[in-house]
Structure 1
């Protein structure tokens, strides 16, 4: 089978497309899918660079990718409620490949394409986790830096569903996109802190982009305990929680499927790349300014 892998840590150029990799098999409690699309997440290129290995230990050479959507073609021992031929989305390992093993999954809601479905697993789990960790309640206001990306798009919609007001920070080109998701929107750049203050008091803040705004977010909330980052590894130096360990992925996937089915959550696919262009997908992901998700198609 074809799969993308790397044998050393480094830049996008270390990625290689294998033409005859061995197919993985579904062990106990796992399923294997014929991958139709794989999600592109910042953790993918962070692992490729040798970062966050504490949370995601890997052995080289290694495959790439955590998220995927596809068709079940092998069911491991002890797995119930899913059968060969089912359309599912979920998390696993080495998902930039023609076949991948998933450790957590849910059935795809009707009307969802494989490309769309592949964009949900990690971002929805992350969004649900950081909303919980930041502790903002219905009727309060949450400030989100990096609001137009995949996690930000999910945070805005889930928070709105829970009665939380969101102020979204993003580039000028994404202001209407944020407003369309129900957020109060403003741009980065000189004077952004005052622009946020004019929109109202902030009860909690999320740093989803790692753009060096931790100190300002602490100032706006008045308490480092009310700020959570998933992108700035220096966050603990400011007393801010860095959230990098996943919670219950099956529960997150079930909630994602329910929100999607009820029309309460939609994350657009900004761009899809063929498997051979995985390096280009990583380059674009690292550049930021994403609106929604990037995916690899198989």
Structure 2
């Protein structure tokens, strides 16, 4: 069996469980592309998997057989095309969020990945593999929350379907604005005509103004919920149990979109007439093609925090754990 280099987990734990080793080449099936990977974007689900999803209730934790190759986001070159695939040929440059959210099957931290052609889009010309690999999960998350959901899968944690809200002329606050999802959400909201207030730590102020933020709040100096009001939308990329603090900043009929689980103030939201809605990002090659056009035009830019060779995935995860990331961390192959 042909071998490739990959990062694999044989147990859950800290960054030290990421092992750079030989692994079997993925098998190309009908409807799939086999891609030689040039760069890999790293995302929070990568470390949730590495840690064994310890933030989830035990009954929700997926049971995945070891060894596992983590990761979802890749940019590379098509090595082979499976039966029935149209629109892609060997030699095409492509990027993708691979098979998300089917846990443990994405397997992006590797020299090759095989996945459904429908997960892929053509890499924008004029953008290198590093920037393309940084875009898919963060870009699709921002897109599916703010622009277009693009699927019909019901979120089991809420009764209603997630609906993006109109942004033109609206006041939008993005919390965690310098991170992967945040800095792309700031740019998408600006593209759609919103007035954007960015919340991050002070060192990101110049960066966030440079990508279009109209106002900036340094959360280390003042609590955003103490200084803003009459917002139409808050996109809280941090989410979690503290996201309810933003309810008092939002006008009646406005919306709070937490990206991570943990919202627990449904009663207060109902009293204030505020929609609270979330969604789980899903692979979507068609949306990625659209997002790619904005990248190609320079309308949206992906910021790179740092890059590491694939063999140094441990160091990349350590960098992620240190926080205060500006943009995205990328592995190079």
Q: Same fold (TM over 0.5)?
A: yes
Q: Distance in 2 between matches of 1:224 and 1:49?
A: 39
Q: Distance in 2 between matches of 1:285 and 1:247?
A: 22
Q: Which moved more, 1:219-228 or 1:20-29?
A: 219-228
Equivalence for 2:46 = 44
Q: Distance in 2 between matches of 1:5 and 1:257?
A: 30
Structure 2 matches for 1:1-298, cutoff 5 A?
Answer: 1-18=4-21, 20-51=22-53, 58-92=64-98, 93-103=106-116, 104-132=119-147, 133=163, 135-183=165-213, 184-193=215-224, 196-197=227-228, 201-210=230-239, 213-221=242-250, 226-231=255-260, 233-235=261-263, 237-239=264-266, 240-243=276-279, 245-247=280-282, 249-298=284-333
The structure with more helix, counted as a fraction of residues? 1
User: Helix, strand or coil: the match of 2:23?
Assistant: coil
Q: Which runs of 5+ in 1 are unaligned?
A: none
Q: Is the 8 A contact 1:134 1:226 kept in 2?
A: no
Q: Distance in 1 between matches of 2:141 and 2:80?
A: 28
Q: Which runs of 5+ in 2 are unaligned?
A: 99-105, 148-162, 267-275
Q: Distance in 1 between matches of 2:9 and 2:225?
A: 45
Q: Deviations over 1:19-65 (max 9, x none)?
A: x2110022122111111000011111012112269697743321011
Instruction: Report how far residue 145 of structure 1 moved.
Output: 0.7
Structure 1 pair 194–221 and aligned structure 2 pair: CA distance change class (3 A): closer
Q: Distance in 2 between matches of 1:148 and 1:102?
A: 30
Q: Is the 8 A contact 1:89 1:108 kept in 2?
A: yes
Q: Is the 8 A contact 1:272 1:294 kept in 2?
A: yes
Q: Distance in 1 between matches of 2:186 and 2:203?
A: 17
User: Helix, strand or coil: the match of 2:231?
Assistant: coil
> What count of residue pairs does the alignment treat as equivalent?
292
Q: Is the 8 A contact 2:294 2:300 kept in 1?
A: yes
Q: Is the 8 A contact 1:136 1:142 kept in 2?
A: no
Instruction: Report how far residue 222 of structure 1 moved.
Output: 5.2
Q: Which moved more, 1:35-44 or 1:268-277?
A: 268-277
Instruction: Report how far residue 272 of structure 1 moved.
Output: 0.5
Structure 1 pair 58–159 and aligned structure 2 pair: CA distance change class (3 A): farther
Q: Is the 8 A contact 2:176 2:199 kept in 1?
A: yes
Q: Is the 8 A contact 1:134 1:206 kept in 2?
A: no
Q: Is the 8 A contact 1:134 1:228 kept in 2?
A: no
Two-structure CA RMSD over aligned residues (Å):
2.3
